[in-house]
Structure 1
Amino acid sequence: MSGDLDLELDPHAVGERVQARLDEVERAGGPAARAAADDAVRELMLLHQVALTRLLHGLTALPGTAAALPGLAADELVGGLLALYDLHPVPLADRVAAALPRVAGKLGREVALLGVDADGVAHVALTASGCGGGCGGSGAAAAEALTRAVQQAAPEVVEVRVQERAAPAPLLQIGRRDAGVPA
């Protein structure tokens, strides 16, 4: 490995830089140049996918290494790379579901995963806090926090759709009144 390798690389910033370079190619050379650049990226990704698949198959053949993969995949960069190539050892819905309680605790609201569809859209239910809107954050802020947490845990999720639900009505307590107590 290179001695100047930045181990604190921001994968989102790298993605933005790659997209900017592809846009520059299109501006300089037109749509045909952009199509050629996109094809080159796809070929490189295919090469990487096959290499990573072989690497993971080789590693999991060694005693004890298969159990270590979920822990390694918990790293945002490693997990994102494995997810990009559909090699993540933890199922998508499980990763999304695991991200929700952390956000729910910060929001003071109940959050539930309704599912992740084939298009990569995560559907999440957010129960209103029931305190008149003064606590738990606004719906928009809550949706933004949920989206951030879900996409960090599962970068292949392309959208998070939040369905707001009303807080359940308070439970009415019915009890017996003592005969000697005036109403």
Structure 2
Amino acid sequence: MKTIEIDDDLYQYIAGQTLKIGESASDILRRLLPGAPVKAAPARVDAASPVAAPVVAKSATSTTQPAAVATESDANKAEDKSSKAASNGKKVGNIFDLVTPADLQAEPNIVGRFLYLLSVLARVHKKQFEKVLEIKGRNRLYFGNSAAELNEMGTSTNPKQIPNTEFWVITNSNTTRKKMMLTETAIKLGYSAEDAERIRDLL
């Protein structure tokens, strides 16, 4: 196996093409590059032989080729898992049908997990998700239709777009506030108080 060094933006693009958790960079490139050689079938592993655990990429700046790409985009993760569920005839009715511990571990920080969970909620409850605009603080908006709208309500709100949606959310709040926002979002979308707490605790 050879080691190559690539720019960060190119790495992020490759990672964003991941179709499943644990797909290696080599597998992604074999799929994307025309004329790339087909991967040979893996040798059978004896039941008594130890199997090495997959290596997860820790940083997009790593110069080694990751054995498992764990920085795929929020939208791609949600879309892939939703498509698989649909193809298997499984009804995707709530966030728990899509989110797994592996998905959350792939997010490097609280803000990443926060945006990912909101993006999955938006995907599952697309028609109702605009209700998040009703969630407000005493003197500020938490959700909006643009970054400018949120910036008008306060300084240093650090608004970010919820992946795969037209909605924006402030991200400069502390973890406790983010959990409260997730809880209120879940309640707005029809989850029970118990399930809303489960969603909150995913953060």
After TM superposition, the score normalised by the length of structure 1 is 0.31
After TM superposition, the score normalised by the length of structure 2 is 0.29
Bigger-Rg structure (1/2): 1
Structure with the bigger percentage of strand:
1
Structure with the bigger percentage of helix:
1
